[in-house]
Amino acid sequence: MSDKKENPLTAILIGAGDRGTMTYGRYALKNRDKLKFIAVAEPIKMRRERFAKMHKISEKFCFNTWEDLLAKEKFADIAVICTQDQMHTKPAITALEKGYDVLLEKPIAHNLKECVEIVKKVEDTGRILGVGHVLRYTEFFSKIHDVIKSGVLGDIVNITHRENVSWYHMAHSFVRGNWRNVESSSPMILAKCCHDLDLIYWMVGALPKKISSIGNLFHFKEENAPKGAPKYCVEGCPIENKCLYYAPRIYIDLELAWQIANKGERRIYKWFMNWRKYRKKSLEFFAKLIPPLKRLRYWRDWPVDVLYEDHPEDYSDEFKMELLKTSPYGRCVYKCDNDVVDHQMVLIEFENGVTANLTMHGFSDEEGRTLRIDGTKATLTGKFNASGEQITIKDHFSGLSKIIYKQKLSLKNIGHGGGDMRLIDAFIKSVIERKEQPLTNAMNSLESHLMAFAAEESRLKNIVIDMEDFRKQALDLI
């Protein structure tokens, strides 16, 4: 960070949902010398007021819509845009035209034409645009990239990469949640896996030549609903005691956090989550004496936070149960309006001869990514999971294996393995120093989006996509 900047960058936030508030907002609160939010646009009153209170934003700088905020002349350094996928384009283009540097949540946009429009606008205005491909900034994937560049693996031949979406994340975000429907959000391969395609493109270091893809919606369909299952889980589901996706199990019992803790190696996390699961009354008593325990008992972060648009202070089990009677997150997973795929595979051939395959599925026991990179000298295997991370290199000549990186489950690394915070740091540095674009700049990120749209076209049309032609067609859209 340059020493010339004595005051923090000022920022406006467009979209005060989970990412805007819990990622970028928290960063600003923890790094007051680097970033300060001075305005917010958010249509949901509770979210808007919560963010304004956290950042001491006066009422005159709180807006219902991004249009109202950006109608004013530029009054901050950067714009952070965290709207839903289909709402990225207009605020991003308007902010760039107003002179803001922009930090934009991924994906750039929900369709190819609008992605290209935003990238073209960046070129025309000369502003800086960073895209939220946070995984490039993790220690884990940075280490793998460095290993590849070092030549330890020899020439890379093949990459096998798996995006293992956990059963609870699939149900929460892609069946019940905001990314469940292509028309209202974007295809799964873009919404979830543009991260992964970006990583593969970055690791290979060459343009993709051919792409093909297959996949479908296999499980989360009404035909698979248990007999007698109601629309909402709490309306008397006949299998509530044994259903994996029973809503109170996820949002009240917090089964997912218990499983993450117990699959990790940190005994203290296991102890606390077992206390929460098996001795709730005891935890309630001590929570009255020790305030931090109240947050453990009455969980209010992801995935619970999305339940609340009103009454943000009542996080009791009883009130959560009331919310689940009408909330989209209380619906039976077999009776939602979801249509995105729950499993998909992508095959890629790159111009330098490297091949790669990406598998995404929504039925993993644990959230995370696993990969295998085979080179002419060695094989690298990696595990990037919620419960911990590890990279191993297996040398072909000696036959020996060596763990070169290991990270246990840590609260400090929450947020895509620490990538969230490092991405914001890097973006701020780019804005201040004006020497180079962020690692995840507009042009770099566009290629992974082209890959995602090509994969979806391949899946829908059952064809192999020639990426040179596809790339030319994309640029002709403007």
pLDDT digits (tens, 9 = 90+) for 325-334: 999 999 999 9
The whole-number pLDDT of residue 4 equals 44
* pLDDT value of residue 1: 40
CATH: 1.20.1050.10, 3.40.50.970, 1.10.540.10, 3.40.50.720. Which one for 9-133? 3.40.50.720
- What values do phi and psi take at 17, rounded to 5? -85, -150
The answer to whether 47 and 16 are in contact (CB under 8 A) is yes
Helices within 394-441 (DSSP H only): 419-433
pLDDT at 478: 61
- Confidence (pLDDT) at 88: 94
438 contacts 430 by C-beta, under 8 angstroms: yes
DSSP state of 443: H
Confidence (pLDDT) at 441? 77
3.40.50.10470, 3.40.50.620, 3.40.640.10, 3.30.360.10: CATH of 136-220+337-414+439-475 = 3.30.360.10
The Cα 415–Cα 420 span in angstroms is 6
**Residue 14: its H or E element:** strand 9-14
SS3 call for 259: helix
- Segments of the chain assigned to CATH 3.30.360.10: 136-220+337-414+439-475
Which pLDDT does position 428 carry in this prediction?
Answer: 95
User: Six-digit token pair at 421?
Assistant: 């915070």
Residue 43: predicted pLDDT: 94
C-alpha pair distances (Å), 3 with each of 8, 36, 40? 12, 17, 28
**Residue 84 corresponds to which amino acid?**
Q
Distance CA 47, CA 56 (A): 14
User: Which residues of the chain have a pLDDT value below 50?
Assistant: 1-5
Evaluate the omega torsion of the peptide bond into residue 312 and state whether it is cis, within 30 degrees of 0. no
* Host H or E run for residue 374: strand 368-375
Q: Could you give the angle at which helices 112-125 and 442-461 cross, rounded to 10 degrees?
A: 170
